[in-house]
Structures are given as C-alpha cells and as structure tokens.
Amino acid sequence: MKNIKSSKQQNLWFERLMGITAIVNLCLVLFDLSYVPWRDLYLRKLPQITQIYDPIKGIEPHRDTKNYLETVDALEEQVNQTGLQSPQAKGKLIQISRLSSEMIDSNPFAGVNKSGTLEKIKNRMRDRINNKNKSAKQSFATFWSQSYLSQNGWVQEINFFNDRIRPLIATNYYRQIEESGEFVDDFWIIDLPFVILFGVELLGRTFLLKRRRPDLSWFEALLWRWYDLFLLLPFWRLLRILPVLVRLDQAQLLDLQPVRKQIHQGIVANFAEELTEVVVVRVINQVQGSIQRGELTHWLSQQENLRPYIDINNVNEVEAIASLLVKTIVYQVLPEIQPAIVAILRHNIETVFHQVPVYRNLQNLPGVGQAQTQLSEQLATQITTNLYKTLVSAVEDPVGAKLTSKLVESFSQALGAQIKEKHVLSEIQSLLFDFLEEIKINYVQRLSQEDIDQIIEQTRQLRTKASVPVVVDKSTALTKRRQG
C-alpha cells in the first residue's frame, strides 16, 4: 500500500512539473504573439526587453528615422556649444527640415504598418504651430527655423519635441524579410527545447501505454494523449492552451470539473435534439415498414412469424399479467369500492320504483317510503354480494379459468379471421400508417424541442443518487434478520 501511495505521489509531482513547464512555454508563446503588436508599450515601459527580443523577431532601427533622431541630437549638442543663432546650428536646422519633408514623402512607417504613427506626428506638429490648415511639411519647416525657436524659446520647443514627437518616431523600425517573403521570426530557437522535451515525454507515455495495453497499436497509443500533439506544432501555437489546461487539471493545480460539466452539457444539448428526432422517426419508420410488409396480418392471424419467438422462462407473460391483474381487482380493489357500488345500485333501484305508477300512489301511505328505502338497500347489497361471490368463485374455479382462457383464445382467433376475411385489415393498415405519420409531424418536433438542460440535470441527479453508497446500521440489520 505504501509503495502504491509513493508511486502515485511521484506521478503527481511529475505531472505538476510538466504542467508548470507547459505553463512557462505557453507564457512564452503568448509573449511572442503579443510582442510585435505591443512593442511600443514594451519600448516605453521596458526598453531592455526590446533590446533583447528585437533580434529574435528580426527587428532593427529604421535607417531614415534613426538618422532623423541622430541629427536632432547633433543639433542639441551644437546649440549647447555655439548657440541657436550660429551658422552651424542654422545648417543643422535646414538639414532637419529637409529630413522632415523626406520623412513625410517616403513614409518609412508604412513598411511595418505604422502609417498611423506618422499621421499622429503630423497632427501634433500642426497643433504645435497652431496652423491646422497648412500642410505638415510647412509646419515642420516653421518649427525647425531659427526665428520660431528663438521667439518661442529653444528649451521649451526642444522639450516638446523630445516629449511628444521623439517617442513616436522612435517606435518605427525595420523588420528583416526572409527569402520566402515572410518576416524573420526566430522564436523557434526558444521554442525548440520545449518541443523536444514534450516530444520525448509523449513518446515515453506512448511506450508505457503500449506495454500496459498490448491490444493497442502504436498509433492508437499515441492518440491516447492526442491533445499533447499541439505542444509539438511549430504553427497554431495558441492551441497549446488546450493541453496546458488538461495538464493543470491532471496535476491537481486547477479544477476543471465545472468547465468539463458545462462542455459536456453543451455537447449533449447540441446533439440531443437531433438524436431524439432521428431515433423517434426511425422507430416510427420501422413500425410503418412493418405494417407495409404485412407483418400486422401475420401477427393477427397467428399463422406465421417472420422470426421465431424465444421464450426464456417457459411462462406466458401475457396470461400471467392478466391473471395477476384479475386477482388484484377481485381481492383488493372490489372490496374497497363495494360501498360505492352499493350506493349506485340503490340509486338505480329507487329510480325504477319512482317510475312505477302504482308505487307513486302508495307513496302517500304511511311507512311505505321507509320500507322502500330498506328494500332498495337490501337489494343493492344482495346484488353486489352475489356478483362479488360469483367473481371470486370464477377466479378460484380452475374449470372456469380454463373456460375463460379458451374464450379469450377463441375471441382472438375469430377476430383475426373475420378481419382477414372481410378485408378490413388493409383499411386498418392505412389508418395506422397515416396515424404514425401524423405523430411524426405533430409530436416528434415537440420531443426534439424539449428542455434538454432539464433532462440532463435529471439524469445527473439520478446518477448522483445511484453513486451514493447506502449506509446500513449493522445492529438494525441483525435485529431484522433475527425477527425474520
């Protein structure tokens, strides 16, 4: 027992280790998928990450925007050294103005689908110059002029550029393209160790399962954990969420029982409606086909059977059920309802008396009404008692039971023969066929639209009740056994 517990504990720790590894791999996949769309955020908040991960995605600074920002840096250094009004600073301003015009014309942001960033840069520059109606080129030319910078303050304006314009330009980049026409993406280098690990694990699990279940083929053993195959795919990596969730549930790090219940209920609810309709329609079609093939005639006439009837207990169940029902009615039901039968008979007898003209004349005599009531009561009781005794004697009399059985048999044979001879069966078959067709049209759709969720919940409750063990008090059981 200790060895079994130890083995289970080791398996659980292994499952947890592999589950945590799968989570790490999935986090890397999610980060990789989000890196390009969220690179601007990473660049502002965590620039160290972009320095490390840009080479993985083949990202490098764009030459035009990089040169633009370097030229602005050179201008700042020149102004610090010689002042804004110096010829050297003026030359730098002219160069930056020219680069601004070229940036607007060439749009270096378009290569990585960041044209919106350029539009944002142009709008901010127009707002700064307060010249919304003029072109962006004129706004940049005005901004990078000695007169504007001197009038509005060099420090204030260069701070505006560094705070509002430079971060937007810095987000632009160039991404290398492979010979296949796709962007460079070396994430597979990071993903490869995980793929190898999960591949070796899957092969090991397949080998162990094959040893425990020799009846399975290698392919069937491999598909036993089909969801782990998503961990090996170099594409559609987002599908790895499925095996990760399964592994976390197996490692008892996440309880997916409510989710599994809802998934199962959803699947059953989707298919139950169609399955209900298909099953019911198929049963009705089989009955209709049986009627069309004339099996109803064979059943009624009892002359031939399409299939031999198999008796498993040498008992005629129909006769046994009929006998049981008759005894139940005679010995248990009729004694309970005998007062009601007496009351009905007494009422009918009194009604007959009132319809006799002589009796109506005698009603005026004293004591006649009371005598009539007693007489009606006695007659009703006597009739009911005699009828009940007759039924009891008929049930208990073996000769009477045998005669009754022969009567039922003769009635069935005569009915079948008369139906067959008078050609009524064809009309009955036609009516039954149409009746079943109406059932399909009117009721099968209602069956298929029944509240599937309620049915599933009832089934789950029944299964829960069946799985709950019944606790028996040993002392009570012993006492009942001794009494028995």
| pLDDT tens by residue, 113-156 | 999 999 999 999 999 998 766 789 999 999 999 999 999 999 99
Which has the higher per-residue pLDDT, 322 or 61? 61
DSSP letter assigned to residue 111: G
| pLDDT tens by residue, 195-213 | 999 999 999 999 999 998 8
Q: Of 216-220, 273-277, 450-454, which has the strongest mean pLDDT?
A: 216-220
Secondary structure (3-state) at 468: coil
Which has the higher per-residue pLDDT, 479 or 288? 288
| pLDDT tens by residue, 62-105 | 999 999 999 999 999 999 999 999 999 999 999 999 999 999 99
Per-residue pLDDT at 398: 74
pLDDT above 70: residue 241: yes
Residues 176 and 68: their CA atoms lie apart, in Å, by 21
Residues 446 and 79: their CA atoms lie apart, in Å, by 86
Q: Provide the angle, in degrees to the nearest 10, between the axes of the packed helices 425-439 and 398-421.
A: 90
- Complete DSSP assignment for 202-269: HHHHHHHHHHH-TTS-HHHHHHTTGGGGGGT-SS-GGGGHHHHHHHHHHTTSS--HHHHHHHHHHHHH
Q: What is the biggest distance separating any 2 CA atoms in the chain, rounded to whole angstroms?
A: 151
State what percent of residues in the chain have pLDDT above 70.
68
| pLDDT tens by residue, 298-325 | 655 544 444 455 656 666 665 677 677 7
Per-residue pLDDT at 231: 94
Question: Which contacts (CB < 8 Å, 24+ apart) does range 309-316 have?
Answer: none
| pLDDT tens by residue, 160-190 | 999 999 999 999 999 999 888 889 999 999 9
State what percent of residues in the chain have pLDDT above 90.
40
The full length of the chain comes to 484
Summary mean pLDDT of the chain: 79
Which has the higher per-residue pLDDT, 258 or 250? 250
| pLDDT tens by residue, 264-285 | 666 666 666 666 666 667 677 7
